[in-house]
Copies of this chain bind each other. A is one copy, B any other.
Amino acid sequence: MGKNLTSRAEDYSKWYNELVIKADLAENSGVRGSMVIKPYGFSIWEMMQKELDQMFKETGHRNAYFPLFIPKSYFSKEASHVDGFAKECAVVTHYRLKTGEDGSIVVDEKAKLEEELIVRPTSETIIWDTYRKWIQSYRDLPILINQWANVVRWEMRTRLFLRTAEFLWQEGHTAHATEKEAIAEAEQMMHVYADFAENFMGVPVIKGTKSANERFAGALETYCIEAMMQDGKALQAGTSHFLGQNFAKAFDVKFSDKDGSLNHVWATSWGVSTRLMGALIMTHSDDNGLVLPPRLAPDQVVIVPIYRSEQEYDQTVSKAKELVDALRRKGIRVTLDSRDTHKPGWKFNEYELKGVPVRVGLGPKDLENKTYEIARRDTLSKELVPEDQAVQHIESLLTDIQDNLYQKALDMRTSLTHEAEDYDSFKTLLEEKGGFVLAHWDGTPETEERIKNETKATIRCIPLFGPQTPGKCILTGRDSARKVVFARAY
Using CB atoms and an 8 Å cutoff, list the residues of chain A in contact with chain B.
27, 29-31, 34-39, 42-43, 46, 62-76, 82, 86-98, 104-105, 107-108, 116-119, 126, 129-130, 133, 139, 145, 149-150, 152, 154, 166, 168, 341
Contact = CB atoms under 8 A, between A and B. Distances in A.
Nearest to A74: B30
Contacts of A126: 29-31
Contact of A64 (B37, B68, B130, B145): B37
A150 B123 CA distance: 15
A-B pairs, 5 with minimum CB distance: A34-B67, A39-B62, A37-B65, A91-B94, A95-B154
Nearest to A118: B97
- Give the one of A35, A36, A145, A168 with max B CB within 10 A: A36
Nearest to A29: B67
A91 B90 contact: no
Contact of A92 (B39, B42, B119): B119
Nearest to A145: B39
What DSSP secondary structure best describes chain A's contact surface? mixed
B29 A341 contact: no
Given A39-B63, A75-B97, A89-B97, 19 more contacts: A27-B133, A29-B130, A30-B129, A31-B70, A34-B67, A35-B67, A37-B65, A42-B63, A46-B63, A65-B168, A72-B97, A76-B105, A88-B95, A89-B95, A90-B95, A91-B107, A93-B93, A93-B107, A107-B116
A130 B36 contact: yes
A117 to B, nearest CB: 7
A69 to B, nearest CB: 5
27 contacts: A29-B66, A29-B129, A31-B126, A35-B67, A37-B64, A39-B62, A39-B63, A42-B63, A42-B65, A46-B63, A68-B119, A68-B152, A69-B90, A82-B105, A86-B97, A90-B92, A91-B92, A91-B94, A91-B96, A91-B97, A91-B107, A92-B92, A92-B119, A93-B94, A93-B107, A119-B119, A150-B150
Nearest to A274: B65
Contacts of A154: 95-96
A62 B43 contact: yes
Contacts of A95: 88-91, 154
Contacts of A64: 36-39, 42
Contacts of A69: 31, 34, 90, 152, 166
A37 B68 CA distance: 12
B150 A30 contact: no
